[in-house]
Structure 1
Amino acid sequence: MAWARTVLFQLIFYAGSAFFVLATPLTAALGQRALRANVRSWAYFHRWSARWLLGIRSRFVGHIPVEPVLYAAKHHAMFETLELVLALRDPAPVMKSELARIPIWGWAAQRYGVIVVDRHGSAPMLRRMMREAKSAIAEGRSVVIFPEGTRVRQGEAPPLKSGFAGLYRMLNLTVVPVALDSGKVWPKKGPKRAGDVTFDFGAPLPPGLPRAEIEARVHAAINRLG
């Protein structure tokens, strides 16, 4: 049954996603409001598909600030990338430069306002990243980073990448850690399973903490659920 649900989800969700991708150039031409509405519609379609085809629902715990903050989230699956778009009201996600080079999708993501980061950390890329992050904050948008750098399996807790500390220092924003457990129903390999995914928003951490302290506190907070 799990494999049947997974195949059905893949057929319907990815076929339906083509509509939103093809609509991107038109909505981008109409401005940021139309483009972000298109992205939210895609995220709602993903939520609907996960709920009714896979039996996966989201549960949000804790306080979500109204003002812009830096969210540091655990990353198990694609699932949370789209759920956070809805929960955090059009945030600006930090995205690896490799993803920004995907035809059409990468262009659309940059038009949406993602913050592109180069894992090699070149000076021009860092300056660009800061411009994009500050622009998002000026618009009243929060920034979302997956500080472990990539998707990991449920229960894995690798150290944070150095880019998180740099962004934390330069933006001087409050950090809200987000623990989640999507890996238990949405594994990197194999069929997806029905169940609830918990998004646990932790206590805000103030700006200006020493690097070792902020990294240790964020690492512990985002790994509360595995």
Structure 2
Amino acid sequence: MKMPMPFDNSFFCRKFLTGDSYRSPALPPAPPPAWWRSCAFYYRLFLGPVRWLCAKAARGECSDAAWVHASAWVGELMEGLGCPILIDGMDQFDRLEGPCLFVGNHMSTLETFLLPSIIRPHRPVTFVVKKSLTTMPFFGAVMRSRDPIVVERVNPRQDLTAVLEGGQRLLAKGVSVIVFPQSTRSRQFNEEHFNTIGIKLARKAGVPVVPVALKTDAWGKGRRVKELGPMRPGMPVRFAFGEALSVQGNGKAEHAAVCDFIRDRLARWEAEDGVNGEP
């Protein structure tokens, strides 16, 4: 069930929400200094899409269309920062008949903002999120409106139960689920910290898994508030979706395939972008 597009007020919205891939148009280099660009970005972010969407949520009007619109708006802000957005493989999930599990690495705050405008125009979707995101001022109302699967990040066994029960309920309704199995955001992909919770849910619900590799370190990790780190003007933002996998047996082969896809894409992008280490 594709969502109709109620807006076409920008290049990003018109081009980003159609087709199997997306490439930003040629972007002018962002002028220095970088710290000023970071300040300007956050100013526009909070007074633009965040304030707009939070106001919608406070009135009980945070619809899927509003969610996608705000998400695409953030994409435009990233392009305004000189960060090209490159996305491949949307056909891998667009052609699926029913819901699926999106399982990907977690690098920054940016993927939470951008994935709705990538996936929701093709199919209903929500996230597995930590409880603190649903209780924070203003933006918590937005997250709650998305009917997410909420985990505590304290007791792994309770979290697994919450994901399996909540995930099966949503998937049975035709809603796909995005899960980041890492314990925290990281530029480095460590398979030891990449658990199998998504594979377990997919096996239990009988739905395919779509691997998601992403490189979103254009949005840095903050020291005091990790969601608000330094921005890196000019750095590419990349997403790639792999071939859907049907979970067989204990799911070990599918978990390994997801890890291989993410690791290989990150290595390729690292070589192309020439990024070394944390800022």
Give the TM interval when normalised to the shorter protein: 0.7 to 0.9
Amino acid at match of 2:111: E
Does structure 1 conserve the Cα–Cα contact (< 8 Å) formed by 2:93 and 2:244?
A: no
Moved more, 202-211 or 142-151: 202-211
Does structure 1 conserve the Cα–Cα contact (< 8 Å) formed by 2:216 and 2:237?
A: yes
Cα drift, residue 122 of structure 1:
4.9
What is the aligned counterpart of 1:203 among 236, 240, 243?
243
What is the aligned counterpart of 2:113 among 82, 89, 97?
82
Does structure 2 conserve the Cα–Cα contact (< 8 Å) formed by 1:186 and 1:193?
A: no
Q: Secondary structure at the match of 1:11?
A: helix
Does structure 1 conserve the Cα–Cα contact (< 8 Å) formed by 2:57 and 2:141?
A: no
Q: Secondary structure at the match of 1:224?
A: helix
String of CA shifts for 1:30-56, please: whole Å, max 9, x gaps: xxxx5222222211221111111x112
Moved more, 37-46 or 157-166: 157-166
CA distance in 2, matches of 1:39, 1:87: 11
CA distance in 1, matches of 2:203, 2:103: 14
What is the aligned counterpart of 1:46 among 49, 74, 95?
74
Does structure 2 conserve the Cα–Cα contact (< 8 Å) formed by 1:24 and 1:38?
A: no
For normalisation by structure 1, the TM-score amounts to: 0.84
Cα drift, residue 168 of structure 1:
2.9
> Higher RCO, 1 or 2 (CA under 8 Å, sep at least 6)?
1
Cα drift, residue 151 of structure 1:
1.0
Answering whether residue 93 of structure 2 is matched by residue 65 of structure 1, we say yes
Structure that is richer in helix per residue = 1
Does structure 2 conserve the Cα–Cα contact (< 8 Å) formed by 1:61 and 1:200?
A: yes
Q: Secondary structure at the match of 1:204?
A: coil
CA RMSD of superposed structures (Å):
2.3
Corresponding position of 1:36 = 64
Aligned residue-pair number:
217
Distance change in 2, residues 1:59/1:191 (3 Å): closer
Does structure 2 conserve the Cα–Cα contact (< 8 Å) formed by 1:76 and 1:181?
A: yes
Identity %: 24
Unaligned stretches of 5+ residues in structure 1:
29-33
Corresponding position of 1:172 = 206
Cα drift, residue 109 of structure 1:
0.9
After TM superposition, list the pairs within 5 Å mapping 1:1-226 onto structure 2. Answer: 1=32, 2-16=34-48, 17-28=50-61, 35-52=63-80, 54-62=81-89, 63-66=91-94, 67-89=98-120, 90-119=124-153, 120-123=155-158, 126-153=160-187, 155-159=188-192, 160-183=194-217, 185-188=218-221, 189-226=229-266
Does structure 1 conserve the Cα–Cα contact (< 8 Å) formed by 2:160 and 2:197?
A: no
Amino acid at match of 1:98: S
Cα drift, residue 76 of structure 1:
1.0
Corresponding position of 1:31 = none
Cα drift, residue 108 of structure 1:
2.8
